[in-house]
Amino acid sequence: MNGNKVNSIKTYQKELFNKKVELMTSLGFNFKRLADADRRSEDDLIVALRDEFLHLSLNRVLSGQLREVESALDRLNSGEYGACANCDTSISSKRLQALPWATHCVDCQDKACAGPAQEAVSLGTSLTG
Ligand SMILES: [Zn+2]
């Protein structure tokens, strides 16, 4: 019984870690693009600024996702993982498998209507029943 729980925690940990690496790689790529923008000539300034704005917006979304993934990893370490941050109900394993960084149960998620970052991350929502 306990072994099962440990097993799935390891699975979530792996998923979360993979996601973290993926997000950090994306963020690293964007930072590099920003650094490149510094070397552009003044004529390209407006284009560069527009690009920078787009990359910063993207970075903000990615940073938000990264924060969620990191806090999920924290909760795994502290043993609080899988409990809804709002009502303390256990989040269903089905939902956690689709969305390992989920912080709220389906009910609270629906009520809260979530922020844009959460929306972007919630690709698996239709699977969570
Ligand atoms: Zn809840």
pLDDT tens for 66-99 read: 999 999 999 999 999 999 999 999 999 999 999 9
In this predicted structure, what is the pLDDT of residue 27? 83
Q: Which residues, in sequence order, are CB contacts of 127 under 8 Å at separation 6+?
A: 94, 98
Domain ranges in the chain are: 1-81, 84-129
CA of 51 to the centre of ligand 1 (A): 39
What's domain 1-81's superfamily in CATH? DksA, coiled-coil domain (1.20.120.910)
Regarding predicted confidence, which is higher, 56 or 32?
Answer: 56
CA of 106 to the centre of ligand 1 (A): 7
Ramachandran assignment for 79, one of left (phi > 0), alpha (psi -120 to 50 degrees), beta (any other): left
In this predicted structure, what is the pLDDT of residue 45? 74
DSSP 123: T
CA of 128 to the centre of ligand 1 (A): 14
CA of 46 to the centre of ligand 1 (A): 46
Output phi, psi for 90, to 5 deg. -65, 130
In whole angstroms, give the CA distance from residue 21 to residue 29: 12
CA of 113 to the centre of ligand 1 (A): 12
